[in-house]
Amino acid sequence: MQLQFLGTGAGMPSKERNTSALALRLLEERGTIWLFDCGEATQHRILHTTIRPRKIEKVFITHLHGDHIFGLPGLLSSRSFLGGEDTLTLYGPKGLKEWVENTFAISNTHITYPIEYVEVQDGIVFEDEQMIVKAKELEHVIPCFGYRIEQKPLPGELLIEKARELNVPKGPLLGKLKNGFDVTLVDGTVVYSKDVTSPPKKGFVVTILGDTKYCESAIELSRNADIVVHEATFDHSTTHLAANYGHSTNIEAATIAKEAKARNLILNHISARFLAEDLQKLLIDARKVFENTFISKDFSHYLWKDEKIIEE
């Protein structure tokens, strides 16, 4: 699993940071990409990456402020031009479907692939045999959601020597055992998958939060997560402004991660008021509360591998 930040700014684009967009690259897990928010010019950012729009399977919108959605119609349109045929599912608050469809109607935009809409409410918004996505409303000035993405446990590794000891022949039976199925040999012997595989591996948990002030919902979504992506629009000296505008400070984000017992925190949605020389202080102050804190920048790339986060 990889996280690639396409836009990490707040409110409006700057020379250093575009507006909100984050790609969850699940190419190894399911051959697709999930996009979280789609601020203005997100597709321009994608042009500078290896992301292929036709590989985008799902788009999760946290809320309907412009810096999180103004790039969506253009990206959806370009996906048609680039040969996208598979269904794309849009998740977001009430009003998202109406806004997208009205934009298409007024601009006479034709989409060549099916779009499914899911109006997000608290609870499970998606589940299949691999993944489960939970949503919870945060505390912002308009309805805004955070998402918790959980990978279900992975099958254990096949213990080939044990399988050989039980006379399992080479071939498809080994594959069945590895995938959790018991098998019967030609002599009638039943070989149980649990006897020839290691215990299941824990899947990853990633929490991606929309705009929010400090709140209990953010803590619940972040509980024991491997990676939490949390906004840090303000710093500790402007805490009063953060609350007024429904946003958080770097210290509040770090406190959320600490109270949730998360493993890693990535600060996101950084205000243009912070210059390059300010960012190190934002990071240092947050690390005093929660040590495993990182600060995102456009195109920054984080890999989750072997239970560790790797910043690339």
- Rounded-to-integer distance, Cα 299 and Cα 311, Å: 11
Residues 258 and 289 in one domain: yes
Residues 38 and 183 in one domain: no
Residues 98 and 186 in one domain: no
Query: What is the model's pLDDT at position 83?
Result: 85
Which residue is catalytic, options 37, 67, 226, 298?
A: 67
- Rounded-to-integer distance, Cα 221 and Cα 202, Å: 18
Six token digits for residue 145? 């959601």
The Cβ-side half-sphere exposure at 186, using a 13 Å CA radius, reads: 3
Q: Check the annotation: does 48 bind a ligand.
A: no
pLDDT 10s digits, 51-88: 999 999 999 999 999 999 999 999 999 999 988 889 99
Helix (H) or strand (E) holding 206: strand 205-208
Give the Cα-Cα-Cα angle 293, 296, 297 (nearest 5 degrees): 155
Residues 45 and 185 in one domain: no
Per-residue confidence band for 293, with pLDDT thresholds at 50, 70 and 90: very high
Q: What is the mean pLDDT of residues 94-103?
A: 98
Residues 190 and 206 in one domain: no
CB 256 within 8 A of CB 214: yes
Q: Check the annotation: does 301 bind a ligand.
A: no
pLDDT 10s digits, 113-124: 999 999 999 999
Residues 150 and 171 in one domain: no
Residues 43 and 188 in one domain: no
Q: Check the annotation: does 211 bind a ligand.
A: yes
Query: What is the model's pLDDT at position 104?
Result: 97
| 67: annotated active-site residue | yes
Residues 131 and 239 in one domain: yes
Query: What is the model's pLDDT at position 275?
Result: 86
The Cβ-side half-sphere exposure at 194, using a 13 Å CA radius, reads: 0
Q: Of 172, 195, 218, which marks where a domain is finished? A: 195
- Rounded-to-integer distance, Cα 145 and Cα 156, Å: 34
Q: Of 195, 222, 244, which marks where a domain is finished? A: 195
Q: Check the annotation: does 269 bind a ligand.
A: yes
Residues 186 and 105 in one domain: no
CATH number, residue 20? 3.60.15.10
Q: Domain limits at 181?
A: 160-195
Amino acid at 16: E
- Rounded-to-integer distance, Cα 203 and Cα 12, Å: 35
Listed range (95-99, 119-123, 218-222, 277-281) with the worst mean pLDDT: 277-281
Identify the three-state secondary structure at position 78: helix
Residues 282 and 187 in one domain: no
Q: Check the annotation: does 110 bind a ligand.
A: no
Question: Is residue 178 scored above 90 in pLDDT?
Answer: no
Residues 53 and 191 in one domain: no
Residues 65 and 123 in one domain: yes
pLDDT 10s digits, 155-164: 888 899 999 9
Q: How many domains does the chain have?
A: 2
Q: Of 178, 195, 212, which marks where a domain is finished? A: 195
Per-residue confidence band for 238, with pLDDT thresholds at 50, 70 and 90: confident
